[in-house]
């Protein structure tokens, strides 16, 4: 399924990205996508030489949605910042909340449903953003379970939750020649059937890590307080070879959501958008969004009421 789409640039307070919109229709749904650690907006619009169909943005636009993604402050196409390590999850989430407001204000149509979509560290940030700012009408969290990667952490890092303490630990980690921890299991990022060209395109699009946010996403339960207050529908997706393997406990970290949907992509590692069966995930996400949209009916979107 294809349709004419336009891709235009976005900018908000030094943050930069893009929005895909269908040309011949006015979409009712806006997907606002946050990349994971070391990823740029290209994760959601990956172009692979010799291979079509790796752009989630193009796929979703062909199904009538608009898709926006903006690089986190200080990395990718966004302006540099003086202190990258000082950017806490709360600070980055607040920046994206403001950016979303600018995106919506710049559209020539009003979204009836705005969905926050985050992959990996971006999934953690979507939770922080929703918990603190109520930015979205629904959230889709891909590959972030909240149980972290304790095997990659020092004794001081396990259990840290205060953002100032996480920044302190991130600075300490930066000073070490090599971070502690064991190697991640083979295949946990890409399944064996992912073409080399797709892996290379993913690697070529990588950017600098946000140290404090990356560390927070590795600490078990670091953002649970934000998750506990989220009261909109939740879509959580993982691969069978993902970094998180405790799928249902991951859902239980969101006790107040109005609807919880769990999807597990067979054979996929952590990078679901590069999996050979990625269309199964994208199709399920489309159906979920349409289900949520149907339930919302003619109600006034929470997002437009919440945005300044």
**pTM for the complete prediction?**
0.93
Q: Is the pLDDT score of 53 beyond 90?
A: yes
Distance CA 97, CA 131 (A): 11
**CB neighbour list of residue 252: distance below 8 Å, 6 or more residues apart:** none
Name the helix (H) or strand (E) containing 5: strand 5-12
pLDDT in tens, 126-139: 999 999 999 999 99
Residues of the domain holding 273: 5-306
CATH of the domain at 23: 3.40.50.1820
Phi-psi region of 12 (alpha: psi -120 to 50; beta: other; left: phi over 0): beta
Distance CA 44, CA 192 (A): 21
Distance CA 128, CA 163 (A): 12
| pLDDT score for 231 | 98
Name the band, by pLDDT with cuts 50, 70 and 90, for residue 302.
very low
Task: Kindly list the distances between the CA atom of residue 239 and the CA atoms of 55, 74, 158, 181, 268, in Å, as whole numbers in the listed order.
Answer: 18, 29, 25, 22, 4
Residue (of 176, 194, 217) closest to 272 by Cα position: 194
pLDDT in tens, 5-28: 899 999 999 999 999 999 988 999
Name the band, by pLDDT with cuts 50, 70 and 90, for residue 261.
very high
Tell me what the pLDDT averaged over the chain comes to.
Answer: 93
pLDDT in tens, 201-252: 999 999 999 999 999 999 999 999 999 999 999 999 999 999 999 999 999 9
**Count of structural domains, the chain:** 1
Residues in the chain: 308
pLDDT in tens, 170-203: 999 998 855 555 567 667 899 999 999 999 999 9
β-sheet bridge partners, residue 43: none
Least confident of 88-92, 280-284, 295-299, 303-307: 303-307
pLDDT in tens, 98-157: 999 999 999 999 999 999 999 999 999 999 999 999 999 999 999 999 999 999 999 999
Three-state secondary structure call for residue 73: coil
Distance CA 280, CA 193 (A): 16
Residue (of 53, 66, 245) closest to 148 by Cα position: 245
| pLDDT score for 179 | 52
**CB neighbour list of residue 283: distance below 8 Å, 6 or more residues apart:** none
């Amino acid at each position: 399924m294809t349709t004419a789409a336009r891709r235009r640039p976005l900018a908000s307070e030094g943050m930069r990205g893009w929005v895909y919109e269908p040309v011949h229709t006015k979409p009712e749904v806006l997907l606002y996508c946050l990349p994971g650690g070391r990823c740029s907006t290209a994760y959601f619009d990956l172009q692979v030489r010799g291979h079509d169909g790796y752009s989630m943005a193009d796929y979703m636009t062909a199904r009538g949605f608009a898709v926006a993604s903006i690089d986190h402050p200080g990395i990718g196409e966004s302006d540099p910042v003086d202190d990258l390590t000082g950017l806490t999850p709360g600070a980055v989430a607040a920046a994206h909340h403001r950016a979303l407001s600018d995106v919506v204000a710049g559209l020539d149509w009003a979204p009836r449903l705005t969905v926050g979509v985050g992959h990996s560290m971006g999934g953690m940030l979507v939770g922080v953003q929703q918990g603190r700012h109520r930015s979205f009408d629904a959230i889709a969290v891909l590959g972030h379970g909240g149980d972290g990667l304790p095997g990659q952490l020092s004794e001081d890092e396990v259990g840290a939750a205060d953002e100032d303490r996480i920044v302190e630990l991130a600075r300490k980690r930066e000073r070490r020649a090599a971070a502690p921890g064991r190697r991640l299991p083979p295949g946990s990022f890409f399944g064996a059937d992912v073409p080399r060209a797709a892996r290379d395109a993913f690697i070529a699009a990588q950017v600098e890590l946000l140290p404090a946010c990356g560390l927070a996403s590795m600490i078990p339960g670091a953002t649970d307080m934000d998750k506990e207050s989220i009261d909109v529908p939740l879509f959580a997706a993982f691969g069978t070879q993902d970094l998180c393997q405790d799928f249902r406990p991951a859902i239980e970290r969101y006790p107040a959501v109005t609807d919880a949907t769990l999807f597990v992509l067979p054979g996929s590692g952590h990078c679901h958008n590069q999996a050979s069966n990625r269309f199964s995930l994208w199709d399920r996400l489309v159906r979920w969004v349409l289900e949520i949209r149907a339930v919302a009916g003619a109600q006034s979107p929470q997002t437009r009421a919440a945005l300044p």
